[in-house]
Structure 1
């Protein structure tokens, strides 16, 4: 499912009075709020899952073409852990 299909599904869930623009605005606002919050804290959506920023330490890797050792810098990644209710579906 892509973003357009998700907007259509939200529109159907909201009922016949909902417009596509209303559904798109709701989705965009939700994604913006999650994106902003996950930068500083854990975001838990009961029955859905948890978004969390994890720090990855710097590590040594290899260039696949040359085999040369190189340092991969530290970075932050967003992880998602699905709730047991979501996994059950």
Structure 2
């Protein structure tokens, strides 16, 4: 498995190569897409990208947790978190790539 991180610049370069937009236009397009996804998540909407994943805001209840260093109990307050759920298509692609690497 590689440790490469895909950045916004990498996505913009891919758009530039595949679609033929300029680098500036490609970067702006990537930014607009990411901003739209973020805005929808902040509004509490579910974002579903077919064959990729679903992003959903979940509410967590208050609970008691422990500090792993000291073992001391502490209250963890209610909060909203973003959950990422990979699609079955993406999961299958990862499995197939893993199998190819181990064969």
Q: Normalising by structure 1, what TM-score?
A: 0.85
Query: What SS does the aligned partner of 1:50 have?
Result: strand
Matched, 1:36 2:9: no
Q: Deviations over 1:52-85 (max 9, x none)?
A: 0011111111223332211011111111112122
* 1:60 aligned to which of 45, 60, 64: 64
Matched, 1:11 2:5: no
Post-superposition offset of 1:30: 0.6
* 1:2 aligned to which of 7, 17, 33: 7
Which ranges in structure 2 are unaligned for 5 or more consecutive residues?
1-5, 94-103
Cα RMSD (Å) of the superposition?
1.4
Q: Normalising by structure 2, what TM-score?
A: 0.75
Query: What SS does the aligned partner of 1:76 have?
Result: strand
Matched, 1:77 2:76: no
Query: What SS does the aligned partner of 2:71 have?
Result: coil
Q: For residues 25 and 92 of structure 2, what CA distance do their matches in structure 1 show?
A: 30
* Number of residues of Structure 1 aligned to a counterpart in Structure 2: 87
